[in-house]
Amino acid sequence: MAIGTWGLSGDAYGPVDEGTQERVLRCALEMGFTLVETADAYGAGRMERLVGRLVADYPEVVVVTKGGTDRTTVPARKRFDAPYLRESVERSLRRLGTRRIDVYLLHNPSESAIELGEAFDALRQLKQEGKIGYWGVSAGGPPVGRAALRRGAEVIELAYNLLHPFEVHRLAGEIIVGGAGLLARSTLAHGLLAGAWPRDRAFASGDHRADRWNKPEFERRVEQVDSFRFLVRGDVETLRAAAVRFVLANSIVSSAVLGPRTVEQLEELVREVGMGPMYLRDADLAQIPRLLEQMGMET
């Protein structure tokens, strides 16, 4: 499991005070987490600075950061030209306080940006210079992920969860053949798979979920989540534990990116998920594709 910092930054679900940000990250490192995922855009660079300061005492920790979002314009825009990426990497190196970024990912590029190839040429050059260890893409879907893998991406980050396993499944063969690492994000579907929300749940201003689902769609999602409660039995204590265990049960997943916003959330997740490797029963895993088909979801 890895610690992601989008929610912690305050950009996604509303403000998080600096003290809480530091306590959550420090607790994860003390627990033994060895991968932290962030981006230059999170908190306008503040999360990179915090991550860099805290991991300085943990040389075994892998830091993954992302770049390609130009926030000097309103609205922000995506940029993956070589000069901009080189400048972005240099800024991230300074904020992280390191000479080399372990893993550097393009942050949600379009397929057309990937096909140009300029970005990948720049990343390969930066790797040769020793400024990044491995490079890849945080992809919004299979087309971008596939294009990146075909150009030699060493790490791919994709959304992967009980409700939306399809993108990873479509790329599984290419990920395996290419030997790429796979970071699975959105493991709890922005909190939906925690299974704790009523149908009339409302989200505050500044919470991206207020715009993600309209009322009928949200009610349908809550009903779909309830269909997975058969997974909660035995040592699987909660639905959110089942959701994270589902991701970890896939052998091609290198790490499941979690996004706790409090120490309490982090501690509960770690305790509930357990140590594996028997995360979910094979018979239960076999039911999931049939259940998704019954829901009318693509498989």
Instruction: State the catalytic residues.
Output: 42
Rounded CA gap, 86 and 65, in Å? Answer: 14
Q: What is the DSSP string of 190-254?
A: GGGGG----TT----TT-THHHH--HHHHHHHHHHHHTTGGG--TT--SHHHHHHHHHHTSTT-S
Q: Which of 48, 44, 59 is nearest to 25 (CA)?
A: 48
CA dihedral angle for residue 212, residue 217, residue 222, residue 228, rounded to 10 degrees: -100
User: Kind and range of the H or E element at 168?
Assistant: helix 166-178
The whole-angstrom separation of Cα 197 and Cα 193 is 9
Say how far apart CA 32 and CA 29 lie, in whole Å. 5
The answer to whether the bond into 109 is cis (omega within 30° of 0) is no
Cβ atoms of 282 and 226 closer than 8 Å? no
Q: What is the C-alpha separation between 116 and 120, in angstroms, rounded?
A: 9
Assign residue 105 a region (left: φ > 0; alpha: ψ between -120 and 50; beta: otherwise).
beta
| Token pair belonging to 266 | 């982090």
From the list 113, 163, 105, the residue with the least C-alpha distance to 296 is: 163
Tokens of 110: 């379009």
